[in-house]
Amino acid sequence: MISGPSGAGKGTVIALVKQLVVHVATSVSATTRAARPGEQEGREYYFMDRGAFARGVAAGDFLEWVEYSGDLYGTLRAEVDGTLARGDDVILEIELVGARAVRKALPEATAVFIAPPSMAELSHRLRGRGTESDAAIARRLSIAQTEVAAAGEFDHMVVNDDAERAATEVAAIIEERRKGN
């Protein structure tokens, strides 16, 4: 599991990790939030309306799901099970509450917290991304305070001051874990 505040650069780090480590796949989550420009159905997320999401919840399709900043996000069991059944590792990019739920459901999961170098830098990155309104950025920064305060719950913390360096650290965590350490 890769967790950490919105704007910490989790997506960039994960994309680099996938170039460094073989036999890992990312789990594509479902969400009710609108697609951002450039995001594709089935690549970044499965985009669904609340009705479809609720039906998935009722059908037991989700390993975990949460409401985050006014939208629903959830990990689909099929995404995780399919990859694990192949013998590969699966990377979940999820927020704090979901990470806690996965930890209970799959105690063998390794939890990595990706931290921004500072809250000022986080705010700068979220604004620079230009994908959220000022209100949404303020909500995400407020959630980030809680998330950073919980970093100690994770098995590892990686500061994303430089994405390449952070990805090398995460790749090493995966390799060590595979060796059974």
- Site residues (CB under 6 A) for ligand 5GP, limited to 108-147: none
DSSP, res 93 = B
Interface pick for ligand 5GP out of 75, 79, 166, 171 (rule CB under 6 A): 75
The reply on whether position 68 binds ligand 5GP by CB under 6 A is yes
- Which of 37/180 has CB closer to ligand 5GP? 37
Amino acid identity for residue 72 in this structure: L
The reply on whether position 95 binds ligand 5GP by CB under 6 A is yes
Residue with tokens 């595979």: 178
Least separation, in Å, of the C-beta of 20 and ligand 5GP? 20
Interface pick for ligand 5GP out of 74, 111, 112, 144 (rule CB under 6 A): 74
CA distance 69 to 62: 19
CA distance 49 to 31: 8
The reply on whether position 6 binds ligand 5GP by CB under 6 A is yes
CA distance 114 to 14: 10
Contact yes or no for 170/2 (Cβ under 8 A) = yes
- Site residues (CB under 6 A) for ligand 5GP, limited to 14-43: 29, 33
Q: Which residues bind ligand 5GP (CB under 6 A)?
A: 6, 10, 29, 33, 64, 66, 68, 73-75, 93-95, 98
